[in-house]
Structures are given as structure tokens and as C-alpha cells.
Amino acid sequence: MSVKTAIIVFAHGSSVESANEAVRSVTAAVAASGGFGLAETAFLELASPDLPQAVARVAGQGAVHVIVVPYFLTLGIHLRRDLPRIVADILRNHPGLRIEVTEPLDGHPGLREIVLERAKKALEC
């Protein structure tokens, strides 16, 4: 993977710092296993950095292509309304930067497996 491509895991953010750290850990694991040399975690609110700050960081390190992965379960209001507005603002401030936003986690078969695994684990108790 080119060092010019960065991944940003974009989460809601929480006032509970351990929740934010959990997302940062996911970002680190994804970056390492996916070969992303440039990776950041960004938050919509309640934690830092926000998405514009995270994009500025990776762009400052030479990224010209940014993949934003929403760490949200569903395509709710934040992803339908807020994220497109934020990305449009970022692109105005970083001409020439390419930003791709992936689908949220909803619909991925892995989620069904996780739910089933958790339910089966509860039955063991």
C-alpha cells in the first residue's frame, strides 16, 4: 500500500476516554494488518482529534488519498448529514486531496457472526 494513502477510522466519540481508546486500538490494529503507514482515529464529537484535524495530520505527512471508515453501526443522521458536510469543508481546505468514505459497519456479515457469538456465549453462563 502506498504511503500516500491514509486510513482514518471515524467514530462518534465519547466522554468515556476508555471508549475512545478502544477505537484508537482498532485503528492501530487495522493499520498494522492492512499495511497502512498513515493512520488516524477521528471523532465527530466529545473527543479529539476531529476529522478535519486528522485529515490535516495525514495530509501533512504526504497523504493524497484518504480512506475514511465510519466506525458506526448504521447509516444514521451523522453519516447522512454531518459527515458529507465535514468532508466537503475539508476538501475546500485541501484542494487536490482525494477522500473516500466507506460504508458503515451495518450489513457486513461479520457483524451477524459477532451477534450470534455473543448470544451463544450468554447461553453458556
Q: How is 7-24 classified by DSSP, letter by letter? A: EEEEE---SSHHHHHHHH
Confidence band (pLDDT; 50, 70, 90) for 3? low
Gyration radius of the chain over CA positions: 16
CATH number at residue 58: 3.40.50.1400
Structural domain boundaries enclosing 27? 5-124
Across the chain, mean pLDDT equals 94
Is the pLDDT reported for residue 73 higher than 70?
yes
Contact 3, 37 (CB under 8 A): yes
Is the pLDDT reported for residue 93 higher than 60?
yes
Is the pLDDT reported for residue 87 higher than 60?
yes
Return the pLDDT at 114.
93
Number of structural domains (the chain) is 1
In the block, residue with C-alpha cell 484518504:
66
In the block, residue with C-alpha cell 459527515:
83
Return the pLDDT at 125.
80
Is the pLDDT reported for residue 1 higher than 60?
no
Question: Any idea of the CA torsion for 47, 110, 3, 80, to the nearest 10 degrees?
Answer: -50
Angle between helices 51-60 and 83-93 (to 10 degrees): 40
pTM of the entire predicted model: 0.91
Cell of 98: 482525494
Return the pLDDT at 70.
98
Q: Which residues contact 41 (CB under 8 A, 6 or more apart)?
A: 8, 9, 10, 11, 20, 23, 24, 26, 27, 49, 54
Q: What is the pLDDT of residues 32-60, one digit of tens each?
A: 999 999 999 999 999 999 999 999 999 99
Is the pLDDT reported for residue 12 higher than 90?
yes
